Structure 1
Amino acid sequence: MLAITTLALVVGGAGSLAALALLRLIGLVTNLVFYQRVSTDLIAPGAMHHAWWLVLGAPVAGGLVIGAMARYGSEKIRGHGMPEAIEAILTGGSRVQPKVAVLKPVSAAISIGTGGPFGAEGPIIMTGGAIGSILAQLLHLTANERKTLLVSGAAAGMAATFNSPLAAILLAVELLLFEWRPRSFVPVVAAVAVATVCRGYLLGTAPVFPVNAAGLHLTPTLDVLAAVVGLTGGALAVAATWMVYRAEDAFARLPLHWMWWPAIGGLIIGLGGLVEPRALGVGYDVIDQLLTGRATLGLIIGILTVKTLIWSLSLGSGTSGGVLAPVFMIGGALGAWEGMLFPHAIPGFWGILGLAAVVGGVMRSPLTGVVFTLELTHAWDMLLPLVVSATAAYALSALVLKRSVLTEKIARRGLHLTREYSTDPLETFFAREVMLPLDDAATLTEHDDVTPERLRALAGAADALLPVVDTVDGTLVGVTTRRRLAGLVTPESVPGTVREATLPCRLAVRQDQTLRQVAYRFAETGLTSAPVIDPATHRPVGVITLRDLLHARLHDLNEEHHRERVLPRQADTDRTPVAAAASPADAA
């Protein structure tokens, strides 16, 4: 763990530099295309009037470039980053091609800089992950260690982009690591810490969307309405997710090579930009207006409709760009619109709740959504309504949709991915609790004669494993089966001894080992049964088989589905034994 943590420190610094480079590159492309100037300042299209042909043509041109880069460079640059990182972890042994580390941020900068309504976070997750993976591939490491460095780079890039260290860590745990263990958690935190410190020198330490929450007074009414915002945000998340994959299905039916799809998606973006130019690009300035209560009704409605449509439809084309910034904007617009109907709290209060709700519904990561919102705004006093809003959206999304915008894409590639975490039932039972205890008949010493009478006594053992012990101290010396013993019994020969049918014991399980440890040992050795020994005396006390491991699963299934009344009804407790025994005739 310590060695990987040391490497993660390096990855964290590299991830912060990659985040800075991507943001500068997006700014450069945006300024060149829409403002015809050389500048790396991050600005969105729509800050001034643009010619209609530029608004319509720039996204199409960007889509053509991205399609060519994907076809002739690497197809891995397609998509919004996080599903690709998850797929690399699940199926690729956490190996990412070095060229992806270059092509992904360049393609994202072109996509966003030419008007794509996407965010920088997905590409930086893939880019930071590629940096960690490349470093790991240069060293002699396991797949789990490569995964840790990949996720460290992804989380570092995320933290450096949004100045959100805790949200980046939660994102890593909820979406990428598939575990919560010190061996991976500690390196990820180390990388995020370094990236956040570096971000302070590179981009500053201020929140990305600062909100003044002074004077906020929470009431039960606000908390109840926060749940309403959550439910509407969850419904919007469901609709947007549905549109993304219906659009993907529609593009898949086109009689064109997928290389041309991003250009068609660019045409959709351009048409939307003609209606609402401020829906183009990453739009951090628009998000800031929505979260601080400065957005006009026209901007709110334009973002809520146009941004949702062009983001959902164009993302299905397989172009390059992230989902978080668009989700921030869409959620902020929804909350800001609802805030015109709800009681006033502080400027931007309802927009902030809408942001957390849509993130919780789209990403299916409610904790990440809450912490992300708090770190983006520093509106710490809004913790409770944020939790209510994000959880309500998450609940609705989980009830209505089988998978999220991230896991649906993974499932469509033939992979199964669960986002639910629970204790492994194999960890809750010990070998001594499920083993078959040894009785006197099944206890064999190496010098016992193999007689027909002894075989009849072992009739119930069939082909089960039989431990063989030392005659003197009773310690385990080997194993045999009834079938091997039966081979020593013939009418013409002198009875053989158990020792002649004994094999060396390849695996002995301690009675204090968990069933998970036993399952791993079975997997390592290819065996399906083993003697269980007392670790203090090294004497066998039972036999455990692969079938016995199902006991834990059966117990878990029973805990989930078996319903019973534990406490009796009041009517039952009121009936005394005498009253219960009395009959109507007795009463008469």
Structure 2
Amino acid sequence: MPLLAAMALVVGTGGAAGAWILVKLIAIATNLFWFGRLSAQNVLITDASVGFLVIVIPVIGSLIVGLMARFGSEKIRGHGIPEAIETILFGESRLSLKVALLKPLSSAVSIGSGGPFGAEGPIIMTGGAIGSLFAQCFHLSAAERKTLLVAGAAAGMTAIFGTPLAAILLAVEVLLFEWKPRSFVPVVVAAMVAFAWRPYLIGTGPMFPMAAIMPVTGTALLASAAIGLVVGLEATLLSTLLYRVEDAFHKLPLHWMWWPALGAVVVGLGGLIDAHVLGAGYASIEALLNGALALRVVVALLVVKAVVWLVALGSGTSGGVLAPLLILGGAAGFLLGQFLPGDAGFWAMVGMAGIMSGAMRAPMTGAIFAAELTGHFQALPCTIVAAAGAYAISVLLMRRSILTEKIARRGRHVLQEYAVDALDLLQAGQIMTPSPETLPGTMTVGEAVSFFTNDAGHRSYPVVDDEGRLLGLVSRTEALRWRADRSNADTTLSDAISDAAQPLAYPDTPSGAVADLIIATGIGRIPIVERHTHRVVGILSRQDLLKVRGANREAETDRMRFVRFATDDPGGRSPQTRRR
């Protein structure tokens, strides 16, 4: 952990630098495509006057992205986070230099030419690539590379949005697939290093400061729950439609390189209807939060932005999902806020927290992210309620999140529910088979061969001395070898196995450690001995370990009632007979 935390100082700096480069590249691409000038100044696409070229410009940008993906790296396609998850779980957390270079460049071209995406997915992939590349320079395990990959991703997200808490929670809920000091501490270090760099590279303060505030009352919490349920349904619908669109593109008789250009035609038509749907839309998010948009524009954002985003992302171009989700959830919250007390901008913030939770299956990230983006931490009770409501709807209606569905379609199913391993909760003495059958050390090899041929009920047996102390283990495999070679038939087992290394465990050994021992040695039955005397007190087999899983499953699903009432069955049946 200290080593990885020290390395995270470098990774955090790299992630912050990657975020700065991405922001500048997006600004340069936007100026080139929409204003015909070479500049890194931040500009809005809505200020451009290009007429019907609004249809052509996104197509040009998407053609460039398609070429980069075809002849550069196919990993730059998509919104970044699923690709990062897949690399962590199935790619030993190794990303290439090509991805680190091409992902921000392709995303800048895509977003700068009007693609309706955000920078968060690309920077997560880019920051992750920086962390992975740095880790690959050293002798580290796949788990340690994962930690630095995720640390880079969290650093990049922190630098872009100024949300270190949400970045850390996103790492835990979506990317790490564990909660261990070895991974958590380095991620925190990297995020905070990036946060320290942010004033010098990106800026200070909340990314979307807002004036609207509302006291957290019972009414506000109920309203937040209602908005969470609505945007949870919205997240479910968007995820379903996204993969329907993606399936439609896969049926086209064209190489996937051309798909982004076809999707960009829809983006251009959407921009012709309302230019607010083009680009990352950060200005639209800020306007939503401050109630500065007319209802007509909000409705256009909700409908047209959804269409162009779904088609563009389904076509396989490069860009993120977070900013579009914030716009769509914020627009829904804003419209619902017309019928709720308080400022509509406040309910837009609540909607943003909910849709991020529902779509990405990251409820705590969604709740904290909305508060950090706006600086309104006093609204946390409302954002948490909305996030929980959307999350509940999402898990009930969708098998997977918008992130993991993409991975599942490649035949790799990812479970986003974390639980403590049941084997880590139990000791060997609690699940072993006590007083196991043993063979005496005085038994001859010939007698052992006869025993395994005629009477043995197991594949191996502990061999003990007169005091019951472990001498070793004899298996059926050894008996077959001895049967073929009769030269040592009169040798005692104590002499025949005296030089053999014997794996063993103690009653207080964690069951998980015994499982690891079985995997490492290939021996399916591990003797359990008293720590001081080495007297055999039990045997722990693979079957015993599987029984733990069965008991844990029963604890999850076997329902029973222990408190009885006067109206219950007068027959006095025990609670065990009323299981369901």
Structure 1 length as normaliser, TM-score?
Answer: 0.91
Structure 1: runs of 5 or more not aligned:
577-588
Q: 1:257 corresponds to which residue?
A: 255
RMSD (Å) for aligned C-alpha atoms:
2.6
Q: How does 1:2-21 map to 2 (within 5 A)?
A: 2-21=2-21
Q: 2:564 aligns with which of 568, 574, 579?
A: 568
Q: Secondary structure at 2:52's aligned position in 1?
A: helix
Change (3 A) 1:478 1:261: same
Q: Is the 8 A contact 1:44 1:282 kept in 2?
A: no
Q: Highest Rg: 1 or 2?
A: 1
Q: 1:583 corresponds to which residue?
A: none
Note the C-alpha offset of 1:538. 2.4
Note the C-alpha offset of 1:429. 1.8
Q: How does 1:451-462 map to 2 (within 5 A)?
A: 461-462=456-457
Q: 1:415 corresponds to which residue?
A: 412
Q: Is the 8 A contact 1:261 1:317 kept in 2?
A: yes
- For residues 133 and 562 of structure 1, the distance between their equivalents in structure 2, rounded to whole angstroms, comes to 44
Q: Secondary structure at 2:540's aligned position in 1?
A: strand
Q: 2:393 aligns with which of 396, 402, 406?
A: 396
Q: 1:354 aligns with which of 351, 362, 371?
A: 351
Q: Secondary structure at 1:567's aligned position in 2?
A: coil
Q: 1:106 corresponds to which residue?
A: 105
Q: Secondary structure at 1:348's aligned position in 2?
A: helix
Q: How does 1:297-446 map to 2 (within 5 A)?
A: 297-344=295-342, 346=343, 348-438=345-435, 442-446=437-441
Deviations 1:94-127 (A, max 9, x none): 1111011111000000000000000001000111
Note the C-alpha offset of 1:338. 0.9
Amino acid at match of 1:398: V
Amino acid at match of 2:31: N
Q: Secondary structure at 2:473's aligned position in 1?
A: strand
Q: How does 1:104-503 map to 2 (within 5 A)?
A: 104-212=103-211, 216-344=214-342, 346=343, 348-438=345-435, 442-448=437-443, 461-471=456-466, 474-481=468-475, 497-499=492-494, 502=497
Q: 1:585 corresponds to which residue?
A: none
Note the C-alpha offset of 1:575. 10
Amino acid at match of 1:544: L
Identity of aligned residues (%): 47
Note the C-alpha offset of 1:419. 0.4
Note the C-alpha offset of 1:319. 0.2
Amino acid at match of 2:471: V
Q: Secondary structure at 2:538's aligned position in 1?
A: strand
Note the C-alpha offset of 1:289. 0.6
Note the C-alpha offset of 1:351. 0.5
Note the C-alpha offset of 1:235. 1.2
- For residues 269 and 399 of structure 1, the distance between their equivalents in structure 2, rounded to whole angstroms, comes to 32
Q: Is the 8 A contact 1:291 1:349 kept in 2?
A: yes
Q: Say which is worse superposed, 559-568 or 478-487, in terms of deviation.
A: 478-487
Q: Is the 8 A contact 2:334 2:344 kept in 1?
A: no
Change (3 A) 1:571 1:501: farther
Change (3 A) 1:565 1:88: same
- For residues 47 and 482 of structure 1, the distance between their equivalents in structure 2, rounded to whole angstroms, comes to 81
Q: Say which is worse superposed, 275-284 or 517-526, in terms of deviation.
A: 517-526
Amino acid at match of 1:266: A
- For residues 246 and 69 of structure 1, the distance between their equivalents in structure 2, rounded to whole angstroms, comes to 25
Deviations 1:474-503 (A, max 9, x none): 532211257967978xxxx99763335547
- Aligned length, in residue pairs: 570
Q: Secondary structure at 1:138's aligned position in 2?
A: coil
- For residues 494 and 8 of structure 2, the distance between their equivalents in structure 1, rounded to whole angstroms, comes to 55
Q: Secondary structure at 1:96's aligned position in 2?
A: coil
Structure 2: runs of 5 or more not aligned:
573-580
- For residues 194 and 327 of structure 2, the distance between their equivalents in structure 1, rounded to whole angstroms, comes to 25
Q: Say which is worse superposed, 462-471 or 144-153, in terms of deviation.
A: 462-471
- For residues 268 and 97 of structure 1, the distance between their equivalents in structure 2, rounded to whole angstroms, comes to 32
Amino acid at match of 1:463: H
Q: Is the 8 A contact 1:448 1:498 kept in 2?
A: yes
Note the C-alpha offset of 1:149. 0.9
1:559 and 2:555 equivalent?
yes
Change (3 A) 1:236 1:478: same
Q: Secondary structure at 1:510's aligned position in 2?
A: coil
Deviations 1:409-447 (A, max 9, x none): 0001111101001111111221112212225xx344423
- For residues 529 and 156 of structure 1, the distance between their equivalents in structure 2, rounded to whole angstroms, comes to 46
- For residues 194 and 403 of structure 2, the distance between their equivalents in structure 1, rounded to whole angstroms, comes to 25
Amino acid at match of 1:447: T
Structure 2 length as normaliser, TM-score?
Answer: 0.93
